[in-house]
Amino acid sequence: MQHYIIAKLNDTAPDHEALLREIRALFQKAETLPGIRRVTVRSACLHSEIRYDLMIMLDMDKESLAIFDASPIHSEWKERFGKYLKHKVIFDCE
């Protein structure tokens, strides 16, 4: 399955490019978790108030979502970067 996290950064977010590099480095560690095959972090090429800034896609076994949710990576994502998110959408598909 594919697990998508699509986010809009808020006005308190520091330099977006630096922040995206940190997010990318954090999520790349998820590829070491069981059942996670690939992680892709994309930043938007167009910026506006009506567009999102970031898309994270994890290609994983369905059962691995619980492993990811319980991982230190997910905890760090919420603790370090949650304060910079204006909006977030989670979408899962096969």
DSSP track, 36-65: EEEEEEEE-SS--TTS--EEEEEEE-TTHH
3-state secondary structure of 81: helix
Q: CATH no. for residue 67?
A: 3.30.70.100
For residue 82, is it left (φ>0), alpha (ψ between -120 and 50) or beta?
Answer: alpha
pLDDT by residue for the chain (94 residues), tens only, comes to: 999 999 999 989 888 889 999 999 999 999 999 999 999 999 999 888 899 999 999 999 999 999 999 999 999 999 999 999 999 999 999 9
Question: Is residue 65 a part of any domain in this protein?
Answer: yes
Cβ atoms within 10 Å of 88's Cβ, excluding its own? 12
Question: Is residue 5 a part of any domain in this protein?
Answer: no
Structural domain that includes position 41: 13-84
Question: Is residue 63 a part of any domain in this protein?
Answer: yes
Question: Is residue 2 a part of any domain in this protein?
Answer: no
Question: Is residue 91 a part of any domain in this protein?
Answer: no
Question: Is residue 89 a part of any domain in this protein?
Answer: no
| Max CA pair span of the chain | 37
Report how many domains make up the chain: 1
